[in-house]
C-alpha cells in the first residue's frame, strides 16, 4: 500500500503528479465500461500514456464500435463474460503499446493506473518488463469455479512485481481536479 500525503495543493509530489497524469489520460477514455487512464514511467520520466477505447480507425465504443460493450450486462454478455470478444483496448495495454509504437523500452518501468489492472493487462505488463504497479481504485472479482482459478493465477502474476500497491490518497485533498472525479464515485462511469 502506498500512502500519499496530500501536500498544500500547490505542488504535487511525484506520486501525485503521476496519478494526476493517469487521471488526465482517463478523461479521454471512450468506453461504455469503466473509464481508465494509465501512465508508463521510467526513472521518473513519462514514457507513454493510455486510456481505454477501440483501436485506431475503428468506430468509438460509445458510438457502438464494440459489440460486447454495447451489450454488456445483458443475457448476451453477462458480467465478466465475453472479454475475448471485446474490441476495446485497455488503458494499460494502450500505454504499453504506445511505448512499443514509438520505440520506448518498458523494461524496468513502472505502471501507474487509475484502476487495478485486469488479468490480461497484468500478464502483459509483466511480460513487457514492468516492475511496479501503482493503482488508484480497486474492483472485486466475481465468483464461480473459473473465477477461483483466475484469482489464483492473478495472485501468482502479481507476486512477480517488486511493487504492487494501491495508492491510498484522499482524492479531494490531493488536487481540486480530483474532487470532481470523486463525486463520480470510485472513478467509475457507470
Ligand atoms: Zn468499450
Ligand atoms: Zn485490462
Instruction: Read off the pLDDT of residues 169-190 as tens digits, 9 standing for 90 and up.
Output: 766 656 666 666 666 655 554 4
Q: Is 92 a catalytic residue?
A: yes
Average pLDDT over residues 37-58: 96
pLDDT one-digit tens code per residue, 81-106: 787 889 999 999 999 999 999 999 99
Average pLDDT over residues 42-53: 96
- Of residues 146 and 56, more confidently modeled: 56
Whose cell is 491510498? That residue is 168
Q: What's the mean pLDDT when you consider all of the chain?
A: 87
User: Which has the closest alpha carbon to 59: 17, 25, 87?
Assistant: 87
pTM of the complete model? 0.85
Q: Are 79 and 73 in contact, with CB atoms under 8 Å apart?
A: yes
Select which of 16, 92, 124, 163 is catalytic: 92
For residue 117, which phi and psi values (nearest 5 degrees)?
A: -60, 145
pLDDT greater than 80 at residue 148 = yes
pLDDT value for 189? 47
Q: Are 177 and 20 in contact, with CB atoms under 8 Å apart?
A: yes
pLDDT value for 140? 84
pLDDT one-digit tens code per residue, 5-30: 554 456 788 888 899 899 999 999 99
Q: Are 25 and 38 in contact, with CB atoms under 8 Å apart?
A: yes
* Signed CA dihedral, 181, 83, 104, 129: sign only: positive
Sheet of strand 132-137: strand arrangement: 2-3, 163-168, 132-137, 110-115, 37-42, 45-51
pLDDT value for 3? 61
**Cα-to-centroid distance, 117 and ligand 2 (Å):** 5
d(CA 28, CA 55): 14
What are 130's three cell numbers? 514492468
The percent of residues in the chain predicted with pLDDT above 90, rounded, is: 63
**Cα-to-centroid distance, 93 and ligand 2 (Å):** 7
Bridge-based pairing state of the strands 132-137 and 110-115 = parallel
Ligand 2 ion: Cβ-proximal residues, 5 Å cutoff? 90, 118, 121
pLDDT value for 8? 47
Amino acid at each position: 500500500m502506498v500512502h500519499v500525503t496530500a501536500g498544500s495543493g500547490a505542488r504535487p509530489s511525484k506520486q501525485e503528479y503521476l496519478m494526476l497524469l493517469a487521471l488526465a489520460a482517463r478523461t479521454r477514455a471512450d468506453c461504455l465500461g469503466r473509464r481508465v487512464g494509465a501512465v508508463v514511467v521510467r526513472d521518473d520520466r513519462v514514457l507513454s500514456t493510455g486510456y481505454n477505447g477501440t483501436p485506431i480507425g475503428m468506430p468509438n465504443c460509445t458510438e457502438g464500435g464494440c459489440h460486447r460493450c454495447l451489450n454488456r450486462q445483458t443475457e448476451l454478455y453477462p458480467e465478466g463474460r465475453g472479454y475475448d470478444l471485446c474490441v476495446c483496448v485497455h488503458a494499460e495495454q494502450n500505454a504499453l503499446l504506445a511505448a512499443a509504437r514509438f520505440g520506448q523500452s518498458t523494461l524496468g518501468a513502472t505502471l501507474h493506473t487509475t484502476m487495478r489492472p485486469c488479468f490480461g493487462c497484468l500478464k502483459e505488463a509483466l511480460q513487457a518488463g514492468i516492475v511496479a504497479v501503482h493503482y488508484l481504485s480497486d474492483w472485486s472479482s466475481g465468483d464461480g469455479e473459473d473465477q477461483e482459478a483466475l484469482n489464483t493465477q492473478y495472485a501468482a502474476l502479481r507476486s512477480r512485481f517488486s511493487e504492487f500497491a494501491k495508492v491510498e490518497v484522499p482524492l479531494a485533498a490531493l488536487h481540486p481536479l480530483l474532487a470532481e472525479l470523486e463525486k463520480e464515485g470510485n472513478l467509475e462511469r457507470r
